[in-house]
Structure 1
Amino acid sequence: MNRAESRLIHQAASLLLCYPGEDWRQRLDLVRAALEPVHGGPAGRLRTFCADAAVLTPIAAGAEYVSTFDRSRRRTLHMTYYADGDTRRRGQSLVDIKALYRAHGWQPDLRELPDYLPVMLEFAARVPGAGSRLLRDHRPGLDLLLAGLASHRSRYAAVVEAVVLTLPRPTPADRRAAGELAALGPPRESVGRLPASAVPKGTR
Structure 2
Amino acid sequence: MIALQIIARLLDYPDEALWAHRDDLLSALADSQALDEENAAKLSAFIKPFCAAELLDRQAEYCSLFDRGRATSLLLFEHVHGESRDRGQAMVDLLDQYRAAGLVLDSKELPDYLPLYLEYLASLPLEEARSGLVDIAPILALLAARIAQRDSHYAVLFELLLAISGVALNSADVAEKLQQESRDDTPQALDAVWEEEQIKFLSEQGCASAEETAHSQRFAGAVAPQYINLDAHFESGTAGESRP
TM-score between both structures, scaled by the size of structure 1 = 0.77
Aligned partners of 1:17, 1:165: CA distance in 2, in Å?
16
Q: Which SS does the other structure have where 2:98 is aligned? A: helix
The aligned counterpart of 1:95 is: 92
The aligned counterpart of 2:140 is: 142
> Match of 1:85, as an amino acid?
G
Correspondence 1:43 to 2:37? no
Correspondence 1:185 to 2:223? no
1:128-171 residue CA offsets vs partner (Å, 9 max, x unmatched): 35443332111111111111111111111122221111012247
Q: 5+ unaligned residues in a row in structure 2: which ranges?
A: 182-224, 229-244
Q: 5+ unaligned residues in a row in structure 1: which ranges?
A: 1-6, 188-204
The aligned counterpart of 1:194 is: none
CA RMSD of aligned residues (A): 2.4
The aligned counterpart of 2:165 is: 167
The answer as to whether partners of 1:18 and 1:118 remain within 8 angstroms in 2 is yes
Pair member with larger Rg: 2
The answer as to whether partners of 1:68 and 1:75 remain within 8 angstroms in 2 is yes
For residue 59 of structure 1, the aligned residue among 44, 56, 60 is 56
The aligned counterpart of 2:114 is: 117
Between 1 and 2, higher relative CO (CA 8 Å, sep ≥ 6) is seen in: 1
> Match of 1:113, as an amino acid?
L
The answer as to whether partners of 1:14 and 1:122 remain within 8 angstroms in 2 is yes
Percentage of identical aligned residues: 32
Correspondence 1:69 to 2:62? no
The answer as to whether partners of 2:76 and 2:139 remain within 8 angstroms in 1 is yes
Aligned partners of 1:37, 1:12: CA distance in 2, in Å?
11
1:108-139 residue CA offsets vs partner (Å, 9 max, x unmatched): 33311111111111111111354433321111
How far did 1:24 drift? 3.3
Aligned partners of 2:143, 2:137: CA distance in 1, in Å?
10
TM-score between both structures, scaled by the size of structure 2 = 0.65
Aligned partners of 2:3, 2:102: CA distance in 1, in Å?
22
